[in-house]
Amino acid sequence: MSDFDLVLAGNVVLPTHCIADGYVAVRDGRIARVATGPAPAARERHLLGDALILPGAIDGQVHSRSTQGLEDFDASTRSGAAGGVTTIVDMPYDAGRLICNAERLTAKAREAAQLACIDFALYGTVHPNDGPQHIDEIVAAGACAFKFSTFGTDPERFPRIPPATMHDCFARIALHGLMAGVHNEDEEVIRTQQARVRAQGQSDYRSHGLSRPAYSETLAIAQIYEIGADTGCRAHVVHCSTSRGYELAAAYRSMGHRATIEACLHYLVLGEEDLARLGGLGKVNPPIRPAPERERLWQHLAAGNITIVSTDHVSWPLERKSNSDMFANAAGVPGLEVLYPLFIKGCLARGLSLSWAARLLAHNPATLFCIDHCKGALTPGLDADIAVLVPGPHRYDPGVPGRNAAKWSPYADMMLPYRVQATYLRGDLVFDGTTVLAAAGTGRFVRPMVSSLSPST
């Protein structure tokens, strides 16, 4: 009789190194052993050869409820399961409901638990009129972080938080040890630039980047980190498209501040030149920059200057992304289904170790969101959240039924070197390489454990 419920043998990818001909053993939904050598007996045993065995990814930036009627937690988590993602961290800007008090966060957690097929954690935020008034109760309700914005997309759903209010909120969050993540674009610069670009009659694919120049990001980033430095709060930039932003983050860390920064998949995969083909399908905020800037981001990644990589996943209907006037298109793209395969492709193309995938897509997000007591690594005692990827070039098709709710992607038709063959959540198979098997309600709400904070983040 075996001591293990499940054993997977192949190339085990850890945050620091890879174990060729290794195995992962699972018991009672948790990692029980990671080792090299002959795989032990188990109730279920798979000898996977050249397959990669990775920790289930944690996507730190997902918008499951931005589009009513198209996507909710059932759809977003199906996409995640198909992409080797086992936990999503959902943003607080739901259509029609800002998650800015404990009642709303608790209701969202309850509703998501009935729909999700993988696990989820939740950001909270504040309404600008409330300031820090509800922060303590939102923490008690289980938020893993707080989200703010230096740019106002919508005064109620996605509001700008003024610097003084943000300072008050950071000071309160610092008492709880959680992270404050901020959308990093300067409001005044963008409003001015948008007016100038429009006055010149520009509205094609280049107009979006012209209206949101790189310095609009770095001005906001400096503000975010200065407020973090003054309050002692863990300050995090939730998406940075420009190399200068990563330089600022590294500089603040060198001064002893806990300044972290996030790259999104689209900044590492696409260049502004791709927008000539994609048009509105490639519109995101901040914008995608030219290809040389993309390569500088990979250099920062190799230097250790990027904390995590996420998708900033959102599924807009195609009619919201297909206007010839770039200003009329919604910002954001889906990406959960291809997070692991596309990131691994980028690493292989630049000679980078696959350990970066385990580190930036699992280990570091778990630490950043204070959920590394149960998530983020193939470490004995943690949840057996596992992604199995097998080699074999294939073309990505976002139209495969049951995975991508939007059925479009800026990554459509890209060749991928690996595909997800299996995703396990707490030791149970939730995706078999073809079909998402997990039923709605399989996913659980993951609460942070602040005592698990790492000095590095």
The token pair that represents 161 in the structure block: 């938080």
Amino acid at 346: G
Nearest to 413 by CA among 299, 274, 228: 274
Output the DSSP codes for 277-336.
Answer: HHGGGG--SSPPPPHHHHHHHHHHHHTT---EEE--B----GGGS--SSGGGSPP-B--G
Model pTM greater than 0.95?
yes
When pLDDT is cut at 50, 70 and 90, the band that residue 53 belongs to is very high
pLDDT of 362 = 98
- Whether residue 24 contacts residue 53, with contact meaning beta carbons closer than 8 Å, is answered with yes
pLDDT of 457 = 40
Domain locations in the chain as residue ranges: 56-376
pLDDT of 404 = 95
d(CA 108, CA 242): 33
The token pair that represents 380 in the structure block: 């004995």
User: For the residues 14-32, what does the mean pLDDT come to?
Assistant: 97
Amino acid at 409: S
Amino acid at 217: E
The token pair that represents 111 in the structure block: 């509703």
pLDDT of 307 = 98
pLDDT of 156 = 86
Q: Phi, psi at residue 148, to the nearest 5°?
A: -135, 175
pLDDT at 1 over 80: no
pLDDT of 450 = 77
At residue 445, the 3 state secondary structure works out as strand
Tally of CB atoms within 10 A around 147: 24
**pLDDT tens-digit readout, 314-329:** 999 999 999 999 999 9
When pLDDT is cut at 50, 70 and 90, the band that residue 55 belongs to is very high
pLDDT of 452 = 39
Distance of CA 150 to the CA centre of its chain: 20
Residue 363, beta-bridge partner list: none
When pLDDT is cut at 50, 70 and 90, the band that residue 380 belongs to is very high
CATH class, range 56-376: alpha beta
Tally of CB atoms within 10 A around 20: 10
When pLDDT is cut at 50, 70 and 90, the band that residue 453 belongs to is very low
pLDDT of 28 = 98
When pLDDT is cut at 50, 70 and 90, the band that residue 456 belongs to is very low
pLDDT at 155 over 90: no
**Any idea what DSSP says for residue 383?**
B
Distance of CA 443 to the CA centre of its chain: 17
- Where does 14-80 show beta strands of DSSP type E? 18-27, 30-36, 44-55, 57-62
User: For the residues 389-401, what does the mean pLDDT come to?
Assistant: 96
pLDDT of 11 = 98
Output the DSSP codes for 258-272.
Answer: -EEEEEEHHHHH--G
pLDDT of 360 = 98
Residue 388's alpha-carbon distances to 10, 295, 418, 425, in angstroms, are: 9, 28, 10, 12
- Whether residue 193 contacts residue 213, with contact meaning beta carbons closer than 8 Å, is answered with yes
pLDDT at 273 over 90: yes
- Where does 109-240 show beta strands of DSSP type E? 119-124, 145-149, 179-183, 234-237
Nearest to 81 by CA among 407, 386, 395: 386
- Whether residue 56 contacts residue 387, with contact meaning beta carbons closer than 8 Å, is answered with yes
Amino acid at 7: V
pLDDT at 455 over 80: no
251's enclosing H/E stretch is helix 243-254
pLDDT of 153 = 87
User: For the residues 36-59, what does the mean pLDDT come to?
Assistant: 97
Mean pLDDT over all residues of the chain?
96
Q: Which residues of 23-51 are buried (b: 16+ CB within 10 A; e: fewer)?
A: bbbbbebbbbebeeeebbebeebbebeeb
d(CA 356, CA 362): 10
- Biggest alpha carbon–alpha carbon distance for the chain: 75
pLDDT of 20 = 96
334: left (phi over 0), alpha (psi -120 to 50) or beta: beta
232: left (phi over 0), alpha (psi -120 to 50) or beta: left
**pLDDT tens-digit readout, 326-349:** 999 999 999 999 999 999 999 999
When pLDDT is cut at 50, 70 and 90, the band that residue 168 belongs to is very high
Residue 99's alpha-carbon distances to 60, 83, 106, 258, 426, in angstroms, are: 17, 27, 9, 25, 28
